[in-house]
Structure 1
Amino acid sequence: MSDKVFRDPLYNYIAFDRNRDGWLVDLANCREVQRLRRIHQLGVSNFTYPGADHTRFAHSLGVTHLMKLVLEHLERVSDAERIRKARQALLATALLHDVGHGPFSHLFEPCLGINHEQWSMAVILDQGSQVHEILKREDAYLPNHVADLINSQDTKHPAWQRALMSSQLDVDRLDYLRRDSLFTGAGYGHFDWHRLLTTMQFHDDETDLVWPAKSAMAIEEYIFARYYMYQNVYLHKTTRGFEVLLQAMWKRADELRKNGINVNANPVLEQFWKSEDPNHETMPVSDYLAVEEFTVLEQIQRWTGHSDKSLADCARRFLNRDGLAMVEPPPPVNPLKSNDFGKWEADLHLLLKAKDYEEPSMYCLADTVKGKYRQPYREEKDPVNQSAVNTIRVLVDERPVAIGAYLPRLGAVITPQEDRVYYYVPKEIRQEAIELRRKLMSSNSDTEFGN
């Protein structure tokens, strides 16, 4: 048997041909890729959905599988030689696109002050990494090509190559929507993914990608799947509550550390904190990759006994899943400013102090949900500037038409959304916070009408 086979709950089997793609098997076995087995795909979503324990490694294998399928399809319907020339770089990009993720995936990026895309590129280009060694063994230019495709700002290579990996409809999204739906049990990530893969075609002198009009319903399914998954999984209030709690803990520890207070840092984080500006130019790749989820969880366990009562209490709350409760703030005082709630936050701090919370800022956490996350699909409005990277398009009379124009009913979910702000407070004072909100709204109403 020449295939290396992975048993996958989403695709049943993911197989790599050892004769043709033996290098890809070696790449999957690199220590930097194996590290992704220890990074949760959905951060702390398993606090909300107990089954959401799947990893970035499983997702990366799935994306590579889909990339292989779509390249086989494009070889059949277009210039096969051109596809074959790009095949190696695209498969490597699919497997390595998340190799720079930190603990809990996207959640911890603000804490570490990092961008996982930049670190993915750094890992690939680092001559000391096993990933770089294997890529360079195959082709001296391959590490650069892969790093270019991961770089969202790069334009060195044909747009269709980047569109397959990072666009409004790419193999990354096709995998994670269905995988996240499966493991959370939410059931919202269903769409005809196979049709989307096998009807994709080139357009405009074979430099851009489009779909035939007969695939419009599958595209619509996909857009609604994104909408439902964001509303019900990615932006779930319980998950967001634990996210802001973890970020608040880290911020508090960092403040204490900078004020000369011992935060009992474990050796890995102590090394990380030595760099005040942790980026791929100032920090060795190996030091960054050493920061894993178990590193952070062990640190949080240490904090449960810290002398700073707020830090210790929040650490215990996080580990024991005794999180904060969401409370909607009153309407903004200034409708043009989504985060202008007048004295709302100050009143919450007074309430917390009255309840003997030593550090109110740790228990009154504002969470801004960006409008772009509440809008599942965004497209370029100017037809001249539309491409597969920024717009999903179908062919109508041999002319590419944005899916939003072809299916106007999608307007309800692709209309730009405003930022929304929510607050998280301890569960035990939630009702008092709600009553405070009611009184503040009543006071504002009286002021507005001159009473």
Structure 2
Amino acid sequence: MDESSEWKVFYDSVHGHIALDPLLVKIIDTPQFQRLRNIKQLGGDYFVFPGASHNRFEHSIGVAHLAGKLVQNLRTDKSLDITDTDELCVKIAGLCHDLGHGPFSHVFEGFMKELNPKSNWKHEEMSVRMFDYLIEENGIGEVMRNEYKFKSKDFQFIKELIYGPNPPNSKNPEDSHSAQDPQESLQFLGCITQWAYKGRTREKSYLYQIVNNQTTGIDVDKMDYFSRDCHHLGIKCNFSHERYLVFARVCIDEELGAQICIRDKEAMNMYELFHIRSHLHHNFYHHRVTKAVENMIVNALIAADKKLAISAAVKDPSAYMKLTDFILQQILDSTDPELSTAREIVERLSKRDLYKFIDGKTCKPKDVKHLDSAEKWKAKLVAWVEHAKKEAGGQQTQFTAEDFIIMPVKINYGKNEDNPIGCLRFYKKDKTDKPIRLSKDEVSYLLPEKFAEIKVMVFYKGKDKLGVDLMKTHSEKLWEELQKAPKDQ
């Protein structure tokens, strides 16, 4: 037997031994996928937490593994008619869902947003394009069609699992065609909407809740990265994805249609999923030193963009696959005068001469609701700096508002200010086919009442200690100003 046609076993630090299909192994053994070895899962966190050295490569393999485990559990219900192709598509989507991440993962999205505040570019969009590029460049599309009998709708299905409805660059290895009448409707959260997917009909809507769940936010992507991030950060993850995989089943809900539901006794476990999410965001992903580092990375990339054509690479998958975390070393090693500004920032990073944290405050979303654009936040910052300089009197204050960064970070349970468990359906032991809602009181009286907050941080980019000390003494003035809504609102 051809060695490339055999299943292979990987040993993972989180899930132990993982056996993957030959087709998934072919995808892994491509330059486009191997690129993920050089992209840190947690971006700037590695500069703060030395254990956070894991990469998108192992996370992607973990998601493929969990996706396969969940589908295999659901397939015990023969009435669902989940096919081998369905299962393989879901596992491929789990494997390829992060192909589009740029240097330092989500930091690159911040870079793209900083360049163009109106941009809605997301890594999922690039993942779809990179998937197309991967299978075309390596002849895997032919293998999928000829050996695995994939049809056009199967390729479309994979991309929808990654991106959602109407993925970009929908050119398929075969001529695309609609899998069903686009006028089909779906009951979604109590509202009639059009069934927007083409890869599978609405009878298999639950398959879209495995890798990128846009209904409840509960998916194997989160389950892997919560477990993996906690493992590498050295903290305990109280959510058990193993129990979720065992107790998940498909029920038909009158409002939502075919849904992945969970046993009622697992409600507290599901709250733990969202609790660990907020804990990681508050204490690690948005740690103040992490954000100082990531702001410096973004500024270095912006300064180098014109010379290195970094942002332009998103238009060309062959150029994009060369973008990894190594770009900082590329900037540091360069002697090009056009990269001097970027190089200076990277040199500061290497010496731990980081942007200085001035102050931070956690706000209720309603208290800063009037600050609904980057321009409004910047206006508050400018007014605060001018106030501090005026108060400084004769002191030497050479800095301007451009020397400061104000960062409002939204932290929630995944559904803004709503309880995400409200979107989830449960079932009871004696009525396994009947989906039900659970009120908070039916779960516990010790559950959170609020599900969102805004963490605001202010940084100083300069090196002047006088500037840092001065602005710290006036930080309370900023918090007062932030909560003042315009009189016409």
TM range (shorter): 0.7 to 0.9
Shift in Å at residue 193 of structure 1? 1.5
User: 2 CA distance for matches of 1:151 and 1:173?
Assistant: 15
The alignment partner of 2:82 has SS state of helix
1:298 to 330, 335, 344: 330
Q: Which amino acid aligns with 1:394?
A: F
User: 2 CA distance for matches of 1:443 and 1:58?
Assistant: 45
The alignment partner of 2:320 has SS state of helix
Equivalent residue pairs, number: 406
User: 2 CA distance for matches of 1:336 and 1:172?
Assistant: 30
Shift in Å at residue 413 of structure 1? 6.1
Structure 2 stretches lacking a partner, 5+ long = 114-120, 167-195, 372-376, 483-489
Instruction: Tell me, yes or no, if structure 1 residue 181 matches structure 2 residue 181.
Output: no
Equivalent residues in 2 for 1:387-398, closer than 5 Å:
391-395=423-427, 398=434
User: 1 CA distance for matches of 2:40 and 2:425?
Assistant: 33
* Map of 1:203 onto structure 2: 251
Deviations 1:211-247 (A, max 9, x none): 1111112212222221221221111111111111222
Equivalent residues in 2 for 1:2-401, closer than 5 Å:
3-16=7-20, 21-79=21-79, 81-112=81-112, 114-126=121-133, 128-130=136-138, 132=141, 134-137=143-146, 138=148, 139-141=150-152, 142-154=154-166, 155-156=196-197, 157=200, 158-167=204-213, 168-185=217-234, 187-204=235-252, 207-254=258-305, 257=306, 265=307, 269-270=308-309, 272=310, 275=312, 279=314, 283-302=315-334, 306=337, 311-328=342-359, 337-338=370-371, 339=377, 340=380, 343-346=383-386, 354=396, 361=402, 363-370=403-410, 374-378=411-415, 391-395=423-427, 398-401=434-437
User: 2 CA distance for matches of 1:70 and 1:192?
Assistant: 14
Q: Is the 8 A contact 1:392 1:403 kept in 2?
A: no
Q: Which amino acid aligns with 2:54?
A: H
The alignment partner of 2:260 has SS state of strand
Q: Which amino acid aligns with 2:12?
A: D
User: 1 CA distance for matches of 2:472 and 2:104?
Assistant: 31
1:241/1:440 CA distance change after superposition, 3 Å? closer
Shift in Å at residue 424 of structure 1? 0.7
User: 2 CA distance for matches of 1:30 and 1:308?
Assistant: 32
User: 2 CA distance for matches of 1:30 and 1:123?
Assistant: 12
The alignment partner of 1:343 has SS state of helix
Shift in Å at residue 108 of structure 1? 0.9
* Map of 2:186 onto structure 1: none
Q: Is the 8 A contact 1:329 1:422 kept in 2?
A: yes
Q: Which amino acid aligns with 1:189?
A: C
Shift in Å at residue 355 of structure 1? 6.0
Q: Is the 8 A contact 1:227 1:413 kept in 2?
A: no
The alignment partner of 1:44 has SS state of helix
The alignment partner of 1:203 has SS state of strand
Structure 1 stretches lacking a partner, 5+ long = 258-264, 445-451
1:433 to 455, 460, 471: 471
Shift in Å at residue 110 of structure 1? 3.2
Q: Is the 8 A contact 1:124 1:143 kept in 2?
A: no
Shift in Å at residue 66 of structure 1? 0.7
The alignment partner of 2:54 has SS state of coil
Deviations 1:378-398 (A, max 9, x none): 28979xxx9x9x922223673
Percent pairwise identity: 22
User: 2 CA distance for matches of 1:308 and 1:38?
Assistant: 22
User: 2 CA distance for matches of 1:403 and 1:296?
Assistant: 49
User: 1 CA distance for matches of 2:414 and 2:443?
Assistant: 13
User: 1 CA distance for matches of 2:326 and 2:125?
Assistant: 23
Equivalent residues in 2 for 1:403-422, closer than 5 Å:
404=440, 406-407=442-443, 409=445, 412=448, 415-417=451-453, 419-422=454-457
1:356/1:300 CA distance change after superposition, 3 Å? farther
Shift in Å at residue 432 of structure 1? 2.6
TM-score, structure 1 length as denominator? 0.78
Shift in Å at residue 360 of structure 1? 6.3
Q: Is the 8 A contact 1:123 1:132 kept in 2?
A: no
Shift in Å at residue 440 of structure 1? 7.0
The alignment partner of 1:100 has SS state of coil
